Structure 1
Amino acid sequence: MVHGAAPDRPTIHDGDPILGHGSGAGRSLRRTGEAPDDGLRDGVVGDLLAVEAVLARAARRRSPLVTVLRPAALVGPGLDTLLTRHFEAPRLLTVRGVERCWQFVHVDDLASAVATAVDARLTGPLTVGAADELSAREVEAAAGMRRVELAAATAFGTAERLHRVGVLPAPGAELAYAVYPWSVASDGLRAAGWEARWTTAECLDVLLVAVQGRIALAGRRFGARDAAALGAAGAAVALIGTAAVLKQARGRRRG
């Protein structure tokens, strides 16, 4: 996530710059004004960047060796993240003109990546992700969900306004991770012999089973327990997507 997500985001490699350090994604987002780096720094991504800054200073010393794993969207039993909440919304939110690809990584594969890094004494940043990707259409078909397509300005603008008035706990810029690509290459780990056992398709199946029967609106889940939002992306997806569906339905009734 520290590399950012953008409409034209290429596959992320281990040595690519992170946000605020010449990232191509950051330049693209600043250019479009859809999800500025400044907004991301106030939320979950800002926390991750702060942690990486501390680790970068530690890595300048001879010891201990420092390794940073940067996973793709993580799935597994009991995981509850801004990306898993995306699939609890009534519809899958998409940005008009952007066909994003999805990539996941299972927690078991992340654990095996840690073991590989330790055994091979790998240092520095290492991206971790499944070998395959799914198109947005493939994800929608597997999930049995319809999409809600909005203009980028509408989606991000609404999410940011909701954040400013206190409806959403984190910046609307985090919505970028739900609607824009940020797939990773896992270069260093693959060179060391690591391979993900779970495909993205299998990871999606795990995610869909985990969220079955759950509905999240404005980042709050209605069911056995009412969980608070973990990030602006999941909350904004649910709220904006639901509002768009209702608006479309009202328009059809009037017609």
Structure 2
Amino acid sequence: MSGRQVRSGRSARGSRDAAARRAAASAAAPVAEPTDATSPDVVVVGTGPVAAGVLAAWGPRARALDEVPASDPASALVGARVVVLVAHPGDLAVVAGRRGPEGHAPAVAHAQRTFAAAREVKAEHVVVVTSAVVHGAHPDRPVVHDDEPLLSGARAVPDGLVGHLLAVEAVVARAARRRSPKVTVLRPAALVGRGTDSFVTRHFEAPRLLVVRGSERPWQLVHVDDVGAASVFAVEHGLTGPLTVGPADVLTPTQVAAAAGMRTVELAAATAFGTAERLHRVGVLPAPAAELAYVVYPWTVAADGLTTAGFVPSYSSAAALDVLLEGVRGRLALGGRRVERRDAAALGAAGAAVALLGTAAIWRQARRRG
């Protein structure tokens, strides 16, 4: 027996026969699912490691939805008080081949119908998870605050993850102009945890850490579980608008290299980006060359709004780096392309990335010293 107690709403009265009839009728009738505050009133829309972290943070209050369907989208969100749209997949393979407006059109359409469905079911709050990559990374990049403008003009990147998230952000900006629902955008720093696969995590799968000459890249890492916790915190504290997400500590390149037990290789920016562009064109690099900026240039965040409201991530950058290093142990990525160590053919194909983005630089340095 389940042990579930069925309440009639009033005291039992009458004869034993009447009580027996009520008990029999109750046993024969199907038991309705609860519809009170204990029912899931949060819908987490999305797949992948980031969505998994968000779903875990909400616990039994939430239910998962891979995507809002094109046919009768509102029916998928019935009963939702809060909708969390996880636009960041945390999986490089999902967005690596998306190029230009056509490549991002499905993400735009999905974001549009998610907001439309949320309005139709009268959801109170929509939280969208993107990334601080939408602010860009460059040599003189200052710390990113919540109200920083997004990439635009010459620095805009239409391909890959950055273009994907910028396309979604454009939909969010239009939706936020309406009176309801409330809208929050979470833009975390570099993500780790739960199998996250990105151009940042693959940077640590390479034989050496790439450094661009004349630029120091500080490291701020965020666990996906903390992004999930931030989504809960934002809703419970009524925080709206854009919110960057990141721990207070930031690691130096020296600290990161020491923790990873890896040596660095230094290249001129023109050499690194020019080579990456050529390798991406021929299919060796899975991400656009412009996304190399996010592993060699700064884009740390201040997390102003969340910090002021009292949110403290569970993972520091140092602890998140440990998670990242444990997750990539035993993997090898050459120029961002993951290969099996035993796969000689793959090593040969991707070897150009090492020769041009790493090993060649070492040879040149050795010749100069000789």
| Structures share fold, TM-score greater than 0.5 | yes
Name the structure 1 match of 2:237: 120
Q: Percent identity?
A: 65
**Counterparts in 2 of 1:15 and 1:178: CA distance versus 1, 3 Å:** same
Which structure carries more relative contact order (alpha carbon 8 Å, separation 6+)? 1
Match of 1:244 among 330, 354, 360: 360
Question: Quick check: 1:151 aligned with 2:283?
Answer: no
After TM superposition, the structure 1 = structure 2 runs for residues 188-227 of structure 1, keeping only pairs within 5 Å, are: 188-223=305-340
Matched residues in 2 for 1:220 and 1:165: separation?
12
Query: Match for 2:309: what amino acid?
Result: A
Which of 183, 188, 200 is equivalent to 1:83?
A: 200
Q: Which residue of 2 aligns with 1:15?
A: 147
CA distance in 2, matches of 1:237, 1:96: 18
Q: CA deviation at 1:225?
A: 10
Instruction: Tell me the amino acid that sits aligned with residue 76 of structure 1.
Output: G
Tell which structure's C-alpha radius of gyration is larger: 2
Matched residues in 2 for 1:169 and 1:101: separation? 24
What code does the residue aligned with 2:359 have? Answer: A
Find the residue that maps to 1:69 and give its secondary structure: strand
The AA in structure 2 aligned to 1:98 is S
- Structure 1: which 5+ residue stretches go unaligned? 22-35, 227-234
Contact 1:172 1:236 (8 Å CA) reproduced: no
Aligned partner of 2:155 among 37, 40, 58: 37
The structural deviation recorded for 1:42 is 1.8
- CA separation in 2, counterparts of 1:91 and 1:9? 24
Aligned-pair distance for 1:121?
A: 1.3
RMSD value over aligned CA atoms? Answer: 2.5
Are 2:122 and 1:6 aligned? Answer: no
Checking the alignment, whether the CA contact within 8 Å between 2:135 and 2:149 is kept in structure 1 is: yes
The 3-state SS of whatever aligns with 1:66 is strand
Q: What's the secondary structure of 2:211's corresponding residue? A: strand
Code of the residue aligned with 2:239 in structure 1: it is: L
**Counterparts of 1:128 and 1:173, CA distance in 2:** 23
Question: How big is the shift at 1:250?
Answer: 7.6
User: Could you tell which deviates more after superposition, 107-116 or 84-93?
Assistant: 107-116
Counterparts of 2:261 and 2:364, CA distance in 1: 19
Change (3 A) 1:237 1:139: farther
Q: Is the 8 A contact 2:286 2:336 kept in 1?
A: no
* Matching residue of 2:293: 176
Distance 1:223 1:46, change over 3 A: same
Mapped partners of 1:238, 1:195: distance in 2: 39
Task: Note if contact 1:92-1:237 (Cα within 8 Å) is conserved in structure 2.
Answer: no
What is residue 104 of structure 2 aligned with on the other side? Answer: none
Q: State the AA in 2 paired with 1:156.
A: F
Contact 2:332-2:341 within 8 A present in 1 as well = no
- Tell me the amino acid that sits aligned with residue 10 of structure 1: P
Letter aligned with residue 43 of structure 1: G
Query: 1:68–1:191: structure 2 CA closer, same or farther, 3 Å change rule?
Result: same
Unmatched 5+ residue regions in structure 2?
1-132, 344-350
Q: CA deviation at 1:224?
A: 8.7
Specify the code of the residue in structure 1 equivalent to 2:212.
V
Normalising by structure 1, report the TM-score.
Answer: 0.83
Q: Quick check: 1:116–1:194 contact (8 Å CA) kept in 2?
A: yes
Offset from partner CA, 1:36-73 (integer Å, 9 cap, x none) = 524x2222101110000000000011111111100000
Amino acid at match of 2:312: E
Counterpart of 2:248 (choices 126, 131, 135) is 131
More divergent stretch after superposition (162-171 vs 11-20): 162-171
Cα distance between partner residues in 2 of 1:196 and 1:239: 39
User: Partner residue of 2:228?
Assistant: 111
CA drift of 1:209 comes to 0.8
Mark the CA change 1:224 to 1:119 in structure 2 (over 3 Å): closer, same or farther: farther
Shift of 1:173: 0.7
Deviations 1:167-203 (A, max 9, x none): 3343211100000010001111112110112111111
Q: Is the 8 A contact 2:144 2:300 kept in 1?
A: yes
